Amino acid sequence: MHTNRSTARRTPPRLVGRLVTRFGAKKTGGHGGLEILRHIGPGLLVTVGFIDPGNWASNMAAGSQFGYALLWVVTLSTIMLIVLQHNAAHLGIVTGTCLAEATRKHLPRPAALLVLGSAYLATVATAMAEVLGAAIALQMLLGLPLRAGCVIVAVASLLMLATSSYKRIERWIIAFVSVVGLSFLAELALVDVSWPAAATGWVTPSLPAGSVAIVTSVLGAVVMPHNLFLHSEVVQSVHYDQQGDDVIEERLRFELFDTLFSMGVGWAINSAMVILAATTFWTRGLAIDDLALAASTLEPILGPAARAIFAVALLFAGLSSSVTAGMAAGTISAGMFGEEYDIHDRHSSVGVAVAFAGAVAACLAVEDAFSGLVWSQALLSLQLPVTVFVQIWLTSSPAVMGRHANSRPLKAALMAIGVTVTALDLALLLGM
């Protein structure tokens, strides 16, 4: 029954497909600069997801407590993210199914539901961080109570997903990413950065005493399970698998550029957050444990515009990333029934609504907003190995991927990422 229903709903373009169709029309040849730029888009949705308020909290904590020393985590996490997201996108391009659908199709039903259920809970934790971060921004800008702000942000995100075409959401997302990036570039221009120290921090791994929880939090804030599901959904919605081998091969090439470009943007913005915190707080012996306090502290150091810049960027980051979290929740819930994401279908829409309801409930229960943001990201890293190893199994299987199954070097690289994440999670759990 599920298979037939899913098949009946596979007529693109879908709501998700409207975004990707603009970047992935059935066309080969013409590989100039403009043709490459046509394929930039799906990766930006992932970029939005990992410059969310949870990242802000983790990065501010990393920079204010340990200076430039943990910049290497941003670099390593971004490299991991590029490999994983590229691999997830390949699954969608080659098979025409997203990670959630493939998990439901190829794993035994109990195992599939366990994997997808844990991923859904991780997405709720993600949505909580997005909603809470945007609510903090509203409190800073308008003086709204935090709990009221959480409800407003959740409702606004639901309306954006339920009533807007993806063409409009795409424009919003690009605008939001631009505002966040420009805001932090503006902040960096106002401080005296020790670039040699930053360069060393980017490439020199170290674990200062008491840093394991922050390292795990930064890792979970960058390599987010829900983004793997989302990326594969966005690219598969066009169904390149039905357009012939030439189209598949072309899209596989262009997808790598999209991923490298988009993840590079995210690396730069996350690095800027850590550097800003290190330069303005760590050098003065200030450990930040509150985003609003961070903005207040920046004001006398960087000038009267700093608080407004910080709050506006945080609001845009929270709103845009809450939209992508909602999409991911709908993707996973639809995948449990072997279906594609479609906000107008009840399996997707209920999944989105329940995720935001759970996010608001978690926001209302959290007593310390900053700690809630940081630990929500650490929780994501605990679920990440489950998603990573399932993805590796699927994309390494010739039965699933055909001749596009992972090569041995790629499989080894993916396994190394899975083992690294698992090791960091164990270190966190043993140290708790």
pLDDT in tens, 412-421: 999 999 999 8
Q: The domain containing residue 371 runs over which residues?
A: 2-431
pTM above 0.85, yes or no: no
Residues 6+ apart with CB under 8 A from 97: 91, 105, 236
Number of domains in the chain: 1
Q: Locate tokens 């994440």: which residue?
A: 421
Continuous H helices in 189-244? 195-203, 212-222, 225-236
Residues 6+ apart with CB under 8 A from 376: 54, 125, 126, 128, 129
Distance separating alpha carbons of residues 241 and 90, to the nearest angstrom: 11
pLDDT in tens, 200-218: 999 999 989 888 889 888 8
Burial level of 172, CB count in 10 A (0-12/13-18/19+)? middle
pLDDT in tens, 362-386: 998 888 888 888 778 777 888 999 9
pLDDT in tens, 240-287: 665 666 666 777 677 777 778 878 888 988 898 899 899 988 988 888
Low-confidence ranges of the chain (pLDDT < 70): 1-50, 164-171, 173-174, 176-177, 237-248, 252, 297, 300-302, 432
139, 150 Cβ separation under 8 angstroms: no
CATH at residue 59: 1.20.1740.10
pLDDT in tens, 211-245: 888 988 888 778 888 889 988 887 776 666 656 66
